[in-house]
Chain A
Amino acid sequence: MTSDFHPSPLAFEPSKFTRPFWDACRRHVLQAASCNACGHLFLPAGPVCPQCWSADLGAEALSGRGEIAAFTIYRQAYHPDYPVPYVIALIALKEGPRLISNIVGCAPESVASGMSVTVRFASRGEFVLPLFVPAMAEDSNDA
């Protein structure tokens, strides 16, 4: 059931609110929107703080560390740009926000709930994407 009539997801246009997130990824910085009124950190960025409705917003760089809150291994291809298998995971970042991303740098079968992960930036199409690798793998790469 591949879908060749939809444009590639890699051709999307960020909104005025999410563009700073993607621009930061180009600098290999993972950032969340931050509320200057209540301190809430959130993703995706938007017009007001979803917690207190303040429009006084900024951005804060995150550690890029977190754990896997949930994941799935895609076994059916949906789009030619995304060959299977690949892992989609919901990452709970250390600082609170959660985001959807891929787990790379390990066999899909080795991914587990609660696994510690670290961001690794990778270029795809026009974008630099914040992907995640098992924390141990990243540490050994750094060494």
Chain B
Amino acid sequence: MAVHRAVIAGIGHTAFGRFVGRTALDLEAEAVLQAISDAGLAKHDVDGLITDPGPTQGVINGITPHFLTLGQHLGLSPDFVGSEVLGGASSAASIQRAVMAIEAGLCSVCVCVYGDAALSSPGSFAYGRGEESVFGFFGATGLHALAAQRHMAHYGTRPEHFAEVAIAARAHAARTPHAQLREPLDLDGYLASRLVAEPLRRADCCLISDGAAAVVVCAADRARDMRRAPVSILGFGQAHSLCTWSSPGHFDALPAARCGPATLERAGLAINDIDVVLLYDCFTIAVLMQLEDYGFCKKGEAGPFVEGGRIGPGGSLPVNTSGGLMAEGYGGGMMHVIEAVRHLRGEAGDRQIKGAQTALISGHGLGMNTHATLILGQ
């Protein structure tokens, strides 16, 4: 098994919710300080910084050199910097960029941080993109609604199948003390949820949150004497489909169908070897499509596959044990990485998957254009 010469040495995050008066910047600073402390390191150890500006700072307000703002406030003069702007794939991609920088010898302690105060910026997700917005094609929900409708028409997927994903997320979140939405959801509650863009309901959409999360990636040789057992990076990959939704096949499969199998092969693993599954869950349909594209089930069969609570707590394939973006809080994708680390350290509390040795994290972003996969191990 190929193991990279960089490891995850520290994790940290804020609470997730509505925190009026807090800004992305101070949330990010809190997460970074926690992660560095968790690793047993100090400010002077940090020589790399990669930021994921989040939806309102990145996609909405345009791409400013986000690392510059945060780095300035943290008083850093690192040897390596960057900002990932792959939408929901940014967090997983930022870990990958950190590993590559460390393996290339450019830095040895790289902090990757996601942060945003999206909930305190009302309306900020109501954006259009490109000239299609002239037709009223706004927001990520409409885009995923097209994919969901197509999945229903082609494969007979039913609202009850989307509901399984939302219900499982809430059930997982009930075991996650820091989760933003811990109230249980049942099928009646799901069906009573208002329609946003048919067939997707409010309950099909992830949360919007104020919050930040940080992960410290560190050179493996340096991590040997750290206070935490290092988490290994077994493999990573990306695949992107930069064509617009006007291209044939765009709504039928995600770039995950390419980078999932390729990343597993790099890690020397099969999909059934994965103990902890953390899939980017911006919408219920995105989880169903990834279950297919990663090979957990066949194309078109994700609906029946999730029936009977299969991906919920106690199911045969628990997915997003923290509650994910749908219930833990919108952590960009960095919280998926942190949940994986917790399982591999044996620190996941009531939701600990016993004997977890491998974890797969996905990131899915923009108009279903970008995808990143990360496989971690003990």
Q: Which residues of A contact B (CB under 8 A)?
A: 1-6, 9-10, 12, 14, 18, 43-44, 50, 69-76, 78-79, 81-82, 86, 88, 90, 92, 97-102, 113-114, 124, 127, 129, 131
In the complex, chain A residues whose CB is within 8 Å of the CB of B123: 1-6
Taking the closest CB of chain B, its distance from the CB of A107, in whole angstroms, is: 13
Q: What number of A-B contacts does a CB cutoff of 8 Å give?
A: 115
B296 at the interface (CB under 8 A from A): no
Instruction: Verify A100–B194 contact, CB threshold 8 A.
Output: no
Contact of B135 among A6, A88, A114 (CB under 8 A): A88
**Residue B149 at the A interface, CB < 8 A?**
yes
Contact among B124, B146, B147, B196 for A88, CB-based, below 8 A: B146
Give the Cβ gap from A10 to chain B, nearest Cβ, in Å: 6
Output the least CB separation between A58 and chain B (Å).
19
Question: Please, what's the 1-or-0 string for B162-203, where 1 marks a CB less than 8 Å from any CB in chain A?
Answer: 000000000000000000000000000000001111111000
User: Looking at the complex, which one of A2, A76, A124 makes contact with B197 (CB distance below 8 Å)?
Assistant: A76
Which chain A residue has the least Cβ–Cβ distance from B130? A44
Q: Is B80 an interface residue (CB 8 A)?
A: no
Q: Of A9, A12, A14, A70, which contacts B136 at CB under 8 A?
A: A9
Taking the complex as formed, is B67 at the interface, i.e. its CB lies under 8 A from any CB of chain A?
Answer: no
Question: CA of A9 to CA of B136 in the docked complex: distance in angstroms?
Answer: 8
From the candidates B133, B196, B199, name the one contacting A12 in the complex (CB within 8 A).
Answer: B133
Option from B139, B153, B195 in Cβ contact (under 8 Å) with A78: B139
Residues of B within 8 A of A14 (CB): 131
Q: Does B126 contact A (CB under 8 A)?
A: yes
B330 CB to nearest A CB, Å:
15
Whole-angstrom distance from the CB of A30 to the nearest CB of chain B?
A: 14
Bound CA span A72–B247, Å = 18
With A12-B131, A70-B251 known to touch, is A75 a contact of B198 (CB < 8 Å)?
yes
Known: A44-B244, A100-B245. A6 touches B126 (CB 8 A): yes
Chain A nearest CB, measured from B170 CB (Å):
21
Which residue of A3, A71, A79, A81 contacts B149 across the interface (Cβ within 8 Å)?
A: A71
Which residue of B128, B147, B194, B197 is within 8 Å of A74 (Cβ)?
A: B197
User: How near does chain A come to B253, taking the closest CB pair, in angstroms?
Assistant: 14
Per-position 1/0 for B238-272, Cβ under 8 A of A: 00000111111001000000000000000000000
Question: Which residue of B is nearest A10, CB measured?
Answer: B134
A-B contact pairs, 17 of them (CB 8 A): A3-B124, A4-B123, A5-B123, A6-B123, A70-B146, A70-B150, A72-B149, A73-B197, A74-B142, A75-B197, A76-B196, A78-B126, A78-B139, A81-B136, A98-B245, A100-B137, A129-B135
Judged by a CB distance under 8 angstroms, whether B138 is at the interface is yes
- Judging by beta carbons under 8 Å apart, are B136 and A74 in contact? yes
The answer to whether A79 and B131 touch across the interface, beta carbons within 8 angstroms, is no
A3–B56 Cα gap in the complex (Å)? 13
Given A9-B138, A82-B138, 4 more pairs with CB closer than 8 A: A1-B125, A12-B134, A98-B245, A124-B134
> Residue on A with the closest CB to B202?
A76
Q: Interface centre among B123, B131, B136, B247, by most A CB within 10 Å?
A: B136
Q: Which of B131, B243, B245, B248 contacts A50 (CB 8 A)?
A: B243
Find A70's partner among B138, B141, B149, B244 (CB 8 Å cutoff): B149
Could you say which residues of chain B place their CB within 8 Å of the CB of A99?
A: 246
List chain A residues, Cβ under 8 A from B139. Answer: 78
Which single residue of chain B is at the shortest CB-CB distance from A92? B248
